[in-house]
A and B are shown apart, each in its own frame.
Chain A
């Protein structure tokens, strides 16, 4: 199916465990983003990538690792999960055109860290 898909949709894990959230897009968009959404904070950018093998930190990168070996995939890894990382995570992709950066979002992954 065309679009941007995130997996898993729901995840429960324990503190200290490593967790990887997957994001896959079929449009070959250059840009990909990871956000977390928490009550009272809107969406905050964790990491983003302008192209394969190019990643950069966003507003709240601590405790997260990303990679982008292929244009279509942008996994987000929590190396040692903490309760404060309980959140809803959204992946987005974009292809800038005419100065515009319209982002297309996945359905989200709801992560609970116990």
Chain B
């Protein structure tokens, strides 16, 4: 069985300061991991993905995530927050081989960016 835990339901940062959104996962096999972003009243957009290649993954809008197998973590970071980063972020785990393409979503982290 696979599961995802987003450790913070809300994160608040000031504009220009670093962002850290934490995600731990559980999967029986080598998973694919994703971060999606959802702006208010919008659908979800893929930020980045990990697929067992490089452990440090770069995504859109300056976001990165590092896969740490020993810690079963896939935390999302950005060096400097922008007001437009305010949104809901979802960590997602997917195991194509054992779950027929189904994905498991974390409960989401709401990022607030203060001016």
Interface residues of A (CB under 8 A from B): 31, 33, 35, 40-45, 48, 50, 56, 58, 90, 92, 94, 96, 98-108
Indicate the size class of the contact surface on chain B: 20 to 34
**Pairwise interchain contact B43-A103, C-beta atoms closer than 8 A:** no
Please indicate which of the listed interface residues B34, B42, B46, B100 has the most CB atoms of chain A within 10 Å of its own CB. Answer: B100
What DSSP secondary structure best describes chain A's contact surface? strand
**Pairwise interchain contact A100-B108, C-beta atoms closer than 8 A:** no
CB-based A-B contact count at 8 angstroms: 62
Judged by a CB distance under 8 angstroms, whether B102 is at the interface is: yes
Interface residues of B (CB under 8 A from A): 32, 34, 36, 41-46, 49, 51, 90, 94, 96-97, 100-103, 105-108
- By a CB distance below 8 angstroms, the chain B residues around A103 are 44, 46, 103
A45 vs B92: C-alpha distance when bound (angstroms):
12
Nearest A residue (CB) for B45? A105
Q: In the complex, how many angstroms separate the beta carbon of A99 from the nearest chain B beta carbon?
A: 5
**Pairwise interchain contact B103-A90, C-beta atoms closer than 8 A:** no
Q: List 24 A-B contacts (CB under 8 A).
A: A31-B101, A33-B102, A33-B103, A41-B107, A42-B107, A48-B100, A48-B101, A48-B102, A50-B100, A50-B101, A92-B44, A94-B101, A98-B51, A99-B51, A99-B96, A101-B96, A102-B46, A103-B44, A105-B36, A105-B43, A105-B44, A106-B43, A108-B41, A108-B43
